[in-house]
Amino acid sequence: MKQTPEQHIPNRPLVEIVLPVLNEQSALECGVATLIGYLAHAFPYRWQITIVDNGSEDDTWEIAQRLQRTHDNVDALRLTRRGRGLALRTAWLRSEADIVAYMDIDLSTGLESFLPLVAPLITGQRRIATGSRLLTGATVTRGAKREIVSRAYNLLIHLLIPHRFSDAQCGFKALHSATARELLPLVEDDRWFLDTELLLLAEERGYRIHEVPICWIEDTDSRVHIARTAREDVKGLLRVRAGRWQRRLGLTGLNARRSTTLATKNRKHAKLPSMPQ
């Protein structure tokens, strides 16, 4: 499917949507077709879709290659290592788009939220944006277990590392490409925790995060192993908190050393009062 003439206007920002996939042969073709339909008819900016297969063992890569051959604005990238964070890091850092984004191939998040997600980035009001299933106005359909785990995880983040955003792990995010290049080299995680670490790092560096309430329906065929992912996320939170304390203590120590050095220099250069004759 070709983009409309309006979307070919050169000065319009280019938005690249990354789809990280792992063994998604049953969902990939339909998901990409639905996304293309939305972008071609309801999205006013230039766009590019990049499918990142990170370690699939089924026909996902073959389908991705076929989609790449069929559509001019669909690209495909294959990684041998697994990890959603690795897939996003690799695709975003090689991107030439103005805005980089990602969503899950199951399209659990309603696409009507995508333009509100990226619009403040395009206008320059924000540099990073995320969907939220916990904001007022969000509509969420999911099982009780996942609801409890999600809310408990976000509460745990608040207890360990105070922050302002509401939903750390929502798989619906966008960044200005320059911001992605600034933050991603500082993010250590290559798996599911990258979402949380990226937002925490952005806030620590002074970015205000734009949040969009979304309509979200749970994918019952999700590849997420909740218990294992929860353990990894807790380890990640403890690592990030320890890193923050180290940076603060290091900065405090550096400022103290600078103050001591400055005071010493001032004493050395101060004139002694004249002694009475």
Q: 195, 219, 221, 233: which one is catalytic?
A: 195
Torsion-angle region of residue 76: left (phi > 0), alpha (psi -120 to 50) or beta?
Answer: beta
3-state class of 170 per DSSP?
coil
Higher-pLDDT residue of 265, 89: 89
* Inter-residue contact 237 to 156 (CB < 8 Å): yes
Domains with residue ranges and CATH for the chain: 5-251 (3.90.550.10)
pTM of the full structure = 0.84
Residue for token pair 């990238």: 77
Q: Per-residue pLDDT for 233 more than 80?
A: yes
Question: Catalytic annotation on 58?
Answer: no
Q: What is the pLDDT of residue 189?
A: 95
Separation CA 19–CA 22 (nearest Å): 10
β-strand partners of 109: 216
Question: Using one digit for the tens of pLDDT, what is the confidence trace for 170-216?
Answer: 999 999 999 999 999 999 999 999 999 999 999 999 999 999 999 99
- pLDDT at residue 158, rounded to an integer: 86
Please provide residue 52's backbone torsions phi and psi, each rounded to the nearest 5 degrees. Answer: -115, 110
pLDDT digits (tens, 9 = 90+) for 122-159: 999 999 999 999 999 999 998 777 778 888 888 888 88
